Amino acid sequence: MATSKLFGGANLGDLAKSVKERGAPSPFANPNSVKPVLAAAELALTGRTAPQMERENIFSVDPKRARPWKYHNRTSGWYTKDRCQDLIDSIAKDGQQEPGLARKLSGDPDADYEVIYGMRRRFACEFLNAKFKLRVVDCDDTTAAVLMHIENANRQDITPMERALSFHQLVESKLFGTQDTLADAMGLSKAQVSKMLKAAQLLRHTTIGPLFPDQSAVPIEQAYKLTALLERPAAKEVIMQAAQNLARKKEGTRTPAETLRILITSLDRSRKFEPIQKHYNVGPSKRVVVTRNPKGKVTLAFPQGIQATSKEEILAAVAQIVDDLG
């Protein structure tokens, strides 16, 4: 299970559970309990103002007075009736079962709270003209980022790219200093975070980014592959031209995966091959004819067949062909 160094190596799943459990007693109430490395983490998770046993306060507020935290990881595309219909129906029937998490604001004439997580719940409550239930905590931005991550880590409706964009924003803001620090805090591998950050960079390209109206749906693996290709100057020129062509065409609905496939394969389509026909020996008495057309398609023909030809002789000829054609 993932752990976070920010919370003294605590299990992130357990921390997420602590956030959701109302009125859980504080570990500081037991003199024999082990105090977490960062006391602020316990205070942030439980909303308590002092290390003593007490119950959490849940507030019912006007959803219009609660705005998203500036590092919130949901894209604006989520806040529509269609995409929040499940919550709208659930809250209309049974009320809001899980409160959001927020910090109290001061000095903002338009909002009293900033929502760390629970913005879809907020949208549903506003749609229903109902009060929005919040658990209020006092924590810094770094702790808020981890709380948001552990709440959303197992939610299928948060896409990998939304997390990647959120992580990219957190690193850019210097909230975690380095991507390694972020990985440690979130309980993720450095390689995983590195790939997510690299994939998120793709959507910062002024030509490529606008090709994806819903950036949350962009698949990480393909985005990462395309970002790596863009680091090669010759490849970048071809890909950017392909992106400009797509922008001009404005064809009908195309999925993000299809757009990425077109951009990635633009390199293959741009390559021009010199047509060739060559003969290679296969063993002491047979041969293979190799033909390559202008599109790069290679065909192998054995005029004398391959009967009585050893597997080793055929493999040796194919190896030579591969070496020659690259």
Residue 81: Cβ-neighbour burial (10 angstroms; 0-12, 13-18, 19+) = exposed
pLDDT at 102: 92
CA dihedral 189, 226, 168, 219 (to 10 degrees): -80
Residue 48: closest CA among 137, 147, 141: 137
pLDDT at 308: 75
Going along 250-297, which residue ranges are E strands?
276-282, 286-292
pLDDT, tens digit only, all 326 positions of the chain: 566 666 666 666 565 555 555 333 333 233 333 333 233 333 344 444 433 323 457 899 999 999 999 888 776 767 788 888 888 999 999 999 889 999 999 889 999 999 998 888 999 999 999 999 999 988 888 888 888 887 876 565 678 898 899 899 888 888 888 889 888 888 889 999 999 999 999 998 899 999 998 888 899 999 999 999 999 888 888 899 899 988 887 666 789 999 999 999 988 776 666 788 899 988 888 888 999 887 678 899 988 888 877 888 888 888 888 888 76
The answer to whether the CB of 113 falls within 8 A of the CB of 47 is no
Query: In 3-state terms, what secondary structure has residue 132?
Result: strand
| Predicted structure pTM score | 0.64
pLDDT at 147: 85
pLDDT at 36: 31
Look at the chain and count its residues.
326
Question: Which strands sit side by side in the sheet containing 286-292, from one edge to the other?
Answer: 276-282, 286-292, 298-301
How many Cβ atoms are within 10 Å of 308's Cβ, its own excluded?
Answer: 9
Residue 53: closest CA among 24, 29, 35, 18: 29
pLDDT at 25: 34
Q: Strand 286-292 and strand 298-301: pairing?
A: antiparallel
Q: Which amino acid is at 181?
A: T
Q: Strand 286-292 and strand 276-282: pairing?
A: antiparallel
pLDDT at 311: 86
- Bridge partners of residue 67, in order along the sequence: 114
Whole-angstrom distance between the N-terminal and C-terminal Cα of the chain? Answer: 44
Residue 101: closest CA among 67, 156, 148, 141: 148
**Measured between alpha carbons, how far is 313 from 13 in angstroms, rounded to an integer?**
58
- Domains of the chain by start residue, with CATH: 3-158 (3.90.1530.10), 208-270 (no CATH), 276-325 (no CATH)
Q: Which amino acid is at 43?
A: L
Assigned token pair, 325: 């054609």
Q: Which amino acid is at 268?
A: D
pLDDT at 143: 86
pLDDT at 16: 55
The answer to whether the CB of 264 falls within 8 A of the CB of 229 is yes
